[in-house]
Amino acid sequence: MFALIDCNNFYASCERVFQPQYEGKALVILSNNDGCVIARSNEAKALGIPMGAPAFKFRSEFKKHNIKVFSSNYPLYGDMSHRVMKILEKYTPNIEIYSIDEAFLKFEGFEYFDLMETGLKMRKQVRQWTGIPISVGIAPSKALAKIANKIAKKFSNKTGGVYCIDTDEKRLKALKWTPINDVWGVGIRHSKKLKALGVKSALDFVNLPDSWVKKNLSILGLRLKRDLEGAPTIQLEEFAPKKKSIATTRSFKNTITTFSDLEERITTYTLLGAEKLRKQQSCASAIYVFVRSNPFQKQAEQYRNGFTFKLPYATDSSIILNQYAINGLRNIFKSGIEYKKAGILLLGLTPSTSRQMSLFEKDTTKHSALMETMDNIHRRFGPHRMKLGSQDLKQTWKMRRDYLSNRFTTEINEIIKVK
């Protein structure tokens, strides 16, 4: 049996643990730089605040409905996520941490255990130890566990936050209840195609002939169908797959107009990206640089452009990646534009160990030693301590985080105060 554990409105719940005055109140969390809404409490959802709502457009709405706004506080969410996962790990050795707020657990040889009871215990313990409410969906396969979780959450009054699909009757009822676009792994494109054919629910999907599914949705579609039929087919991925591309992009607090300011930003993003690259032990074989103006500033001249460099050989050197990034920037920079956003993408990632050597390779071992030193310094003393010459040494660019709460669990000077 599989269980999917999902933290309810995770970011909002993290904020509430340390600021219980917002329990039951509408609150939203904004993306990096306070750009748009990335998380909402149930109350904010009920008020009709959409996901991705641009903050500046909804400011009056927030005020009108007395919605509490938070900047995203990743040190806090990351630590709380780690605590939740640590507790879940006590229940089974087989766990797949699926995202910051979701995990699949596999219960093997637990046939004589009452998993419903285990689910309730898990929920109670996570809530007591961390303050985070979770929902638990239990079923014979991962795809069904996802559905069970949705039911547990949606009907929490009845289910107590835990739902188990353990009979065929329950399975069919659950499939009938689930719209096709809510099925795990069915993208917008596929669900449109399926809906056009009259496939509205997960049950309709399961009733399609195997051959049709395989032909139109590939072997992955067929595996999903098996999973929904109750035969576990999609397996637990206990090791997070390496990212196939790495992006570092930001909006600026104030617009930028000069090349040197943009150069500084691009260098910083490239260094951040390169560090992520080395952390997962990959090399990039291409780098994409882009800039754009502020589309909401209608009266200003609009401009957006990007440039991709195919590197002569895959590398993880910040120095080399940055040379190409800046060259790319030179190609797309246009003066007289008020730039609002820029970023880099590292593409064509290959494992560091299997990269091809090239005759004219400049990437020397000196670089890798230097990169390792840089990464170590950043790990020990915090980010941005060591910079390249093209980065601004005096000015530290600040992310816009006007509504940031304390880092209650990772900074001793920001812990809660009690009277």
The answer to whether residue 417 forms part of the interface with another protein (CB under 8 A) is: yes
The answer to whether residue 408 forms part of the interface with another protein (CB under 8 A) is: yes
Q: CB–CB of 26/45 below 8 Å?
A: no
Considering beta carbons, is residue 46 or 415 the nearer one to another protein? Answer: 415
Considering beta carbons, is residue 60 or 413 the nearer one to another protein? Answer: 413
Q: How far is the CB of 408 from another protein (least distance, A)?
A: 7
The answer to whether residue 410 forms part of the interface with another protein (CB under 8 A) is: no
Q: CB–CB of 377/385 below 8 Å?
A: yes
Q: How far is the CB of 130 from another protein (least distance, A)?
A: 7
The answer to whether residue 77 forms part of the interface with another protein (CB under 8 A) is: no
Binds another protein by CB under 8 A, chosen from 38, 47, 87, 332: 87
The answer to whether residue 13 forms part of the interface with another protein (CB under 8 A) is: no
Main-chain dihedrals φ then ψ at residue 13, nearest 5 degrees:
-65, -40
Binds another protein by CB under 8 A, chosen from 86, 96, 187, 200: 86
Q: CB–CB of 246/274 below 8 Å?
A: no
Main-chain dihedrals φ then ψ at residue 4, nearest 5 degrees:
-110, 120
Q: What is each CA distance from 139 to 58, 227, 372, in whole angstroms?
A: 40, 10, 45
Q: How many CB atoms lie under 10 A from the CB of residue 13?
A: 23
The answer to whether residue 248 forms part of the interface with another protein (CB under 8 A) is: no
Binds another protein by CB under 8 A, chosen from 56, 113, 129, 212: 129
Q: Which listed range, 31-39, 129-137, 220-228, 258-266, lies at the site for another protein (CB under 8 A)?
A: 129-137
Six-digit token string for 22 = 């917002």
Q: Which helix (H) or strand (E) holds 11?
A: helix 10-18
The answer to whether residue 312 forms part of the interface with another protein (CB under 8 A) is: no
Considering beta carbons, is residue 35 or 75 the nearer one to another protein? Answer: 75
Q: How far is the CB of 22 from another protein (least distance, A)?
A: 10
- Strand boundaries in 301-356, DSSP class E: 304-315, 339-347, 350-351
Q: How many CB atoms lie under 10 A from the CB of residue 115?
A: 22
> Quick check: helix, strand or coil at residue 227?
helix
**How far is C-alpha 336 from the chain's CA centre?**
35
Instruction: Tell me the β-bridge partners of 69.
Output: 28
Where helices occur in 197-335 by DSSP H, the ranges are 202-206, 210-228, 259-279, 318-332
HSE, side-chain direction, 13 A CA sphere, residue 338: 11
Considering beta carbons, is residue 369 or 415 the nearer one to another protein? Answer: 415
Considering beta carbons, is residue 20 or 52 the nearer one to another protein? Answer: 20
Contact string 137-166 vs another protein (x = CB under 8 A): ------------------------------
Q: How far apart are CA 41 and CA 368, in angstroms?
A: 45
Considering beta carbons, is residue 85 or 386 the nearer one to another protein? Answer: 85
The answer to whether residue 130 forms part of the interface with another protein (CB under 8 A) is: yes
Q: How far is the CB of 416 from another protein (least distance, A)?
A: 5
Q: Which helix (H) or strand (E) holds 367?
A: helix 365-381
- Name the residue type at position 348: G
* Separation of first and last alpha carbons in the chain: 47
The answer to whether residue 83 forms part of the interface with another protein (CB under 8 A) is: yes
> How many residues form the binding site for another protein (CB under 8 A)?
18
Binds another protein by CB under 8 A, chosen from 20, 93, 179, 383: 20
Considering beta carbons, is residue 90 or 215 the nearer one to another protein? Answer: 90
The answer to whether residue 219 forms part of the interface with another protein (CB under 8 A) is: no
In degrees, rounded to 5, the angle at the alpha carbon of residue 404 between the alpha carbons of residues 403 and 408 is: 145
Per CB under 8 A, contacts with another protein among 36-55 are: none
Q: How far is the CB of 120 from another protein (least distance, A)?
A: 17
Binds another protein by CB under 8 A, chosen from 35, 75, 131, 306: 131
The answer to whether residue 415 forms part of the interface with another protein (CB under 8 A) is: yes
Q: Which residues bind another protein (CB under 8 A)?
A: 20-21, 83, 86-87, 125, 128-131, 408-409, 412, 415-419
